[in-house]
């Protein structure tokens, strides 16, 4: 780009006017011979301008010329070229891990099962957290970002994992439950994760599934693999009570069919006192 036709206070220059009047030849000339800002004051590119105004031929020009001003990393991600993505990142290509591009890169890495790239991305996601000597799976259990497909990521990481300690297994199980991923729940169960293990609030996997308003198949699986479906958490709610309070009709129906009853923390005490005439 050559000449010094400075953009105005909005970041608009002569090329914006050429787009507005739909003059392709002028756009081509100004693109090659004048300076313009990549984004105007409102964050729009020249491509955005042309597209918004319905200038089809000019849109194609910008696309062919500079692929909508996209970086090599963005283009590599769009083409799903994981080798190029990895090479560009190693060479220092900049991107925000919490941006749309960052999430797309994460998805590509998971699909490719490239462990080195996955670990790189996981470490960047947990910047500022003390991960010490944790395994990759332990690090993943600390991620709470709905834009990252953690369920799919865990499946990739546990393929060759023989088992887990209770604490890690429960964290992974909760992620699988809140993702309503029956396949992952079954896989974790087959590897020794106990769906009946209680968290600090006294909630079992079944409690969490109800809280997450999971689907029928997952709720049914947990009912079948829970010895005491009437177990109360520390707040006094058993699964049926929690289902009703959360208006979870699927869980309510399945629990009633399984013979569950609604009770609260002090029901048993009141019953015993009643038997003694109090």
Written in H, E and C, the secondary structure of the chain is CCECCCCCCCCCCHHHHHHHCCCHHHHHHHHHHECCCCCCCCCCCHHHHHHHCCCHHHHHHHHHHHHHHCCHHHHHHHCCCHHHHHHHHHCCCCCCCCCHHHHHHHHHHHHHCCHHHHHHHHHHHCCCCCCCCCCHHHHHCCCCCCCCCHHHHHHHHCCCCCCCCHHHHHHHHHHHHHCCCHHHHHHHHHCCCCCCCCCCCCCCHHHHHHHCCCCHHHHHHHHHCCCCCCCCCCCCCCHHHHHHHCCCHHHHHHHHHCCCCCCCCCHHHHHHHHHCCC
Architecture of the domain delimited by 14-69 = Alpha Horseshoe (1.25)
Q: Which class for 38: exposed (0-12), middle (13-18), buried (19 or more C-beta within 10 A)?
A: exposed
Per domain, the residue ranges of the chain are 14-69, 192-278
**Percent of the chain surpassing pLDDT 70:** 87
* pLDDT score for 47: 80
pTM over the 0.75 mark: no
* pLDDT score for 109: 92
- Comparing 158-162, 189-193, 272-276, the range with the smallest average pLDDT is 272-276
* Closest residue by Cα to residue 176 from 201, 159, 200, 193: 193
The CB density around residue 217, as the number of other CB atoms within 10 Å, is 13
According to the CATH classification, is domain 192-278 in 1.25.40.20? yes
* pLDDT score for 134: 86
* pLDDT score for 275: 52
- Evaluate whether 14-69 and 192-278 have a shared fold: yes
Contacts of 271 (CB under 8 A, 6+ apart): none
pLDDT (tens digit per residue) in 58-102: 888 877 766 556 777 888 888 888 888 988 888 888 888 888 889
Q: Which class for 93: exposed (0-12), middle (13-18), buried (19 or more C-beta within 10 A)?
A: middle
Q: For tokens 């998971």, what's the residue?
A: 110
pLDDT (tens digit per residue) in 131-144: 778 888 989 988 88
pLDDT (tens digit per residue) in 142-183: 888 889 999 999 999 988 776 678 888 888 999 999 999 999
């Amino acid at each position: 780009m050559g000449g010094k036709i400075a953009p105005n206070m909005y970041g608009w220059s002569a090329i914006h006017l050429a787009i507005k009047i739909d003059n392709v030849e002028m756009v081509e000339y100004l693109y090659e011979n004048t300076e313009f800002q990549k984004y105007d004051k409102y964050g729009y590119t020249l491509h955005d301008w042309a597209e918004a105004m319905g200038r089809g031929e000019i849109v194609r020009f910008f696309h062919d010329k500079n692929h909508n001003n996209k970086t090599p990393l963005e283009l590599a991600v769009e083409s799903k070229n994981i080798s190029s993505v990895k090479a560009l990142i190693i060479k220092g290509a900049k991107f925000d891990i919490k941006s749309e591009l960052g999430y797309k890169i994460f998805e590509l890495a998971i699909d490719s099962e490239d462990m080195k790239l996955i670990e790189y991305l996981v470490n960047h996601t947990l910047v500022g957290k003390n991960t010490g000597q944790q395994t990759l799976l332990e690090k993943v259990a600390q991620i709470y970002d709905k834009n990252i497909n953690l369920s799919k990521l865990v499946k990739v990481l546990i393929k060759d994992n023989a088992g887990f300690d209770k604490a890690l297994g429960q964290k992974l199980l909760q992620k699988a439950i809140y993702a309503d991923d029956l396949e992952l729940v079954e896989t974790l169960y087959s590897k020794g994760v106990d769906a009946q293990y209680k968290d600090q609030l006294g909630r079992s996997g079944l409690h969490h599934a109800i809280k997450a308003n999971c689907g029928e198949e997952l709720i049914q699986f947990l009912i079948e693999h829970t010895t005491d479906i009437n177990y109360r958490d520390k707040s006094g709610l058993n699964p049926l009570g929690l289902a009703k309070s959360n208006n979870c009709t699927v869980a309510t129906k399945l629990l009633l069919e399984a013979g569950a009853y609604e009770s609260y923390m002090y029901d048993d005490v009141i019953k015993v006192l009643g038997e003694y005439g109090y």
